[in-house]
Each structure stands twice: as C-alpha cells, then as structure tokens.
Amino acid sequence: MTDLKTKEPDIPAAGRWVSFRSEITLLDCTIRDGGLMNDHAFNDETVKAVYNACVQAGIDYMELGYKGSKKIFSPDEFGRWKFCAEEDIRRIVGENDTSLKLSVMADAERTDYHTDILPKEESVLDMIRVASYIHQIPTALDMIKDAHDKGYETTINLMAVSTVNEHELNEALALLASSEVDVIYLVDSFGALYSEQVQYYMRKYLHYAKSKQKQVGMHAHNNQQLAYANTIEAIVMGANMLDGSMAGLGRGAGNCPIESLLGFLHNPKFHLRPVLQCIQEQIEPLRKDLLWGFDIPYMITGLLNQHPRAAMKFNASKDRGDLAKFFDMMTEEE
C-alpha cells in the first residue's frame, strides 16, 4: 500500500509559481506604440484613462509617446503625442505625485534632443528611451549621454536585430554596455523571432550587459502570435524590464498584451482589474478604426522577417482580404 505520508503530491505546473522576481518592472507602451496606428492623435480622455489604469494597476512605467522633431514631422499631420511637449504631459498627469514613472521614446536622427528634451528638474518625465538602428549607434550613444547628463534614466531599443550580422551586433552591444545607458532592450521589431532565437539573443545581451551592471529588457511584436510567449522566454532567461500594451495595442500586429503579463507575474503589487476596465472602456472601442492585432498579412511579414509596412499598406488598400495575392507579392520580392 502506498505511504500517503511520504508520497510527494502531484502539483499542477501552475501551482509551482508561488513566488515572484521583485526586480522585474513593467512598462506600458499603449499610447506610444499605439500611436503608430493613429498618427499619435489620442485624445486626452484616453491618455488620462491609460495613465490612471497604470497607476492603479501598480505598473512601473508608462510611455507617453515620442519626442519627434517638428523639423521632420509636421504638427499639422501628427497628434501631440508625437512630440510630448511638457505642457501636454502635465495636462494629463499634473506633477505625477504617484509611484508610476513616465517615459518617452526618442528616435535616433528624428529627435532634436539637445533642445526638445529638457533637463530632468524641468520635466515630469523620468526616463528617455532611445530607439536606434545599428547604423545609428554613434548618434544613439550621444543621445544616451545627453539624457543621462540631464538626469534621466535611459534605455536603448536596438531595432531590427533579426537582420543584423553577428559581428556588428557584438560591436554595438559592447559599445552600449560601456555607455551610460541603464537598460538594453531586445526588440523583435518584425515579430519574426522564435523561442530559440530569443534564448540566443538574451544570452548574448546578458553577456554584455551584466559585465557592466546593466539590465536587459524585452519588447515583442505579435506578428506570429508569439509576443507573450517570447516575453515569458525572455523573463526565464533573465530580462528584468518588460514592455506591454493594453489589449496589445501597437503598430500592426501589436505588442505583448500587458494584461497577460500582469496575470503571469504573480507580484502582489500588480492589479489586473484596472487595466481590464481601461481596455473595456477606452481601448477596445478603438479597434474598429485602428485595426491592430494579429492578421495574416502581418503573419506573412513576420515569417519573412520583413518590416510590417507592406502589410499595413496592403490592409489599407482595395485588395485587403486577398491573402494569396499578398503572399505572392511578398514571396516574389524574395
């Protein structure tokens, strides 16, 4: 007869998740990445609702939009969250007397960062996130130093790494790890990565980052419906800063849904209900016009490791729905 006192019980896999990594932080990029679907023209009500939900949910950072150059992007064509003027931010958050930290993204070569990013003591912002392609690393390094010297936390989002050769990537990571940046992000720009590739890149990023006491983050796109799974893979490998957006709202196929991460992480400081309420009242009503989320043309660009701009253009054309035509067009180009 089995000795019930000594037999180890069968514990469901989910039951083993009884602890959490306190060092993991969540960044909500709903307004910034979602702004790529509506030219950053969110109204104040929506931005305020996302802000309040982030505060109530215990989310660590909220990304409000871009610091875009008005010499490149016309305010007549783009909404205010393309530029994130201090007065616009303060109209939403006041002095932000909360635990939520605020960030904006600054694209290399598309931001007048010396003038448009104020010294920290003059701004309610806490973090500047620099986005850079591999050939823009010299500019990115200067942007990081500028933001750091002004008193901000900094991250670098190195984009389209799935198209970068290993030697160039190693050189870039070495330079970034030696810079003033706080967090180096693995970014799956095209939603093209699989779990094995996430593991490979995370090992590489952590190798360079840890030697210089830097953190590694993860920003995933959902072209192949892998954004959530790949973010979990990054967590397992050691990523400590995670991006997500409400209902996955973001460019094209969208991002990792932050509501999924809130449920997964089991940190008692996080609260899911405020985010669900915001999704219900503010985000989902936008879907009929913004049309983000998994879609077969986005899947095809992900499979081909291509920027989703072709899928976005196709989805806005009269041929939308002719999936075979889009597939033929994309594979003929290959």
Query: Does one domain contain both 212 and 303?
Result: no
Burial (CB count <10 Å: 0-12, 13-18, 19+), residue 110: middle
Query: Does one domain contain both 248 and 314?
Result: no
Query: Does one domain contain both 110 and 225?
Result: yes
Mean of the per-residue pLDDT values for the chain?
93
How far does Cα 155 stand from its chain's mean position?
11
| Residue 9 located in a structural domain | no
Locate the DSSP E strands across 34-115. Answer: 61-66, 101-107
Number of domains in the chain: 2
Query: Mean pLDDT over residues 286-313, rounded?
Result: 88
Contact 103, 27 (CB under 8 A): yes
Query: Does one domain contain both 132 and 229?
Result: yes
CA–CA distance, 103 with 246 (Å, rounded to integer):
17
Global pTM?
0.90
CA–CA distance, 231 with 242 (Å, rounded to integer):
7
Query: Mean pLDDT over residues 4-23, rounded?
Result: 53
Q: What pLDDT score was predicted for residue 6?
A: 39
Query: Does one domain contain both 312 and 241?
Result: no
Query: Does one domain contain both 114 and 131?
Result: yes
Check the CA dihedral 27-281-262-251 and report its sign: negative
| Residue 6 located in a structural domain | no
How many other CB atoms sit within 10 Å of the CB of residue 86? 13
| Residue 43 located in a structural domain | yes
pLDDT at 10 over 70: no
- The per-residue pLDDT for range 14-56, each reduced to its tens digit, is 444 556 889 999 999 999 999 999 999 999 999 999 999 999 9
Query: Does one domain contain both 91 and 182?
Result: yes
Query: Does one domain contain both 323 and 187?
Result: no
Range of the structural domain that residue 303 is part of = 295-333
Query: Does one domain contain both 121 and 44?
Result: yes
Residue type, 280: Q
- What band does 333 get if pLDDT is binned at 50, 70 and 90? low
| Residue 171 located in a structural domain | yes
In order, the DSSP letters of 132-183 are E-GGGHHHHHHHHHHHHHTT-EEEEEE--GGGS-HHHHHHHHHHHHTSS-SE
Query: Does one domain contain both 239 and 315?
Result: no
Q: What pLDDT score was predicted for residue 279?
A: 98
| Residue 7 located in a structural domain | no
CA distances 100 to 72, 106, 305, Å, are 31, 20, 35
| Residue 12 located in a structural domain | no
Find the CATH number of the domain harbouring 46: 3.20.20.70
Residue type, 109: E
| Residue 14 located in a structural domain | no
| Residue 259 located in a structural domain | yes
Query: Mean pLDDT over residues 261-274, rounded?
Result: 95
Query: Does one domain contain both 153 and 299?
Result: no
Q: Rounded to the nearest 5°, which phi and psi values hold at 26?
A: -110, 135
- The per-residue pLDDT for range 172-204, each reduced to its tens digit, is 999 999 999 999 999 999 999 999 999 999 999
Query: Does one domain contain both 281 and 303?
Result: no
Q: What pLDDT score was predicted for residue 206?
A: 98
